[in-house]
Homo-oligomer: A and B are copies of this chain.
């Protein structure tokens, strides 16, 4: 497949049609790509099928019928479940194909998978995203890509259709590393924001007003703009729950230890996520760090 051909790639496969995956698949359909997809539970795919996606029964089938196949699943275990085995993606991946993993897994796992893909004569990219559902819907997703440059360039049109910001950060696993390095700032920003809100509130400023001022200030990252309001009302469904965030912080802390980078604010945020779990909040969005701090402030005392 030459670059020219790459630009002409139309057949894309998609494995993992959850909250994020489903929306990305939809963007690709909207951009005119032919998409074949599969998911653990078929019901979640109904709307995509209605929008023109072709359903496939197994990851293997998806891979076999696509020039480029994408996975977007929860974690390393879920990834292994869709890549391995007789019905797995690798079983259907032919020479010359491109496999893009958009899941968040640790760098080592990603590099190991890339090596297995190369043995099949195909090429892999790790391409996690920074951002959440709302970022995607606003068309402001940032995609980090790890892998060789040639593969990156072949996949660029597709990645741009998802993005729009797409950055090649380095070799295999380095986008996974970049994602983890990014996510530690998410958790710490949320912790600091919670400290800001509680301190303002205890000073006599209504929580809503404090929120308004903080979200109009220079600390208002896109993440805080959508997650900040959760301190008024936790969402029904977590966008990124305590367990998922802690998984990323543990990966960051492990990397920090291996690479000799002290991560003091990450370490503290991680301990407060443990407190969140201890308080029974592990399935809540990680913005629940505010509740942990509120508990430590005696706010939930009777």
Contacts and interface: CB of A to CB of B under 8 A. Distances in A.
A268 B265 contact: yes
A299 to B, nearest CB: 8
Which among A165, A255, A261 has the greatest number of chain B C-beta atoms within 10 A?
A261
Interface stretch (A51-59, A113-121, A212-220): A212-220
Interface string A198-209: 111011111001
Interface residues of A, number: 85
Interface string A176-206: 0110111011101101110111111011111
B271 A267 contact: yes
A233 to B, nearest CB: 20
Contact of A130 (B191, B218, B250, B264): B218
Interface string A215-231: 01111111110000000
Contacts of A246: 257
A161 interface: no
A199 B274 contact: no
Nearest to A214: B182
Interface string A149-175: 000000000000000010101110010
A77 interface: no
Interface stretch (A6-14, A30-38, A275-283): A275-283
A67 to B, nearest CB: 27
Given A178-B200, A196-B181, A266-B192, A186 B219 contact: yes
Given A188-B192, A199-B252, A203-B181, A267 B268 contact: yes
Nearest to A249: B257
A224 B188 CA distance: 14
Contact of A295 (B197, B252, B257, B296): B296
A292 B293 CA distance: 12
A280 B268 contact: no
Contact of A222 (B206, B218, B253): B218
12 contacts: A169-B210, A170-B205, A174-B204, A178-B205, A180-B199, A219-B221, A257-B274, A261-B297, A262-B274, A263-B271, A280-B298, A295-B296
Given A256-B271, A256-B274, 10 more contacts: A130-B217, A130-B219, A170-B204, A181-B199, A191-B265, A195-B256, A218-B221, A218-B223, A219-B222, A262-B271
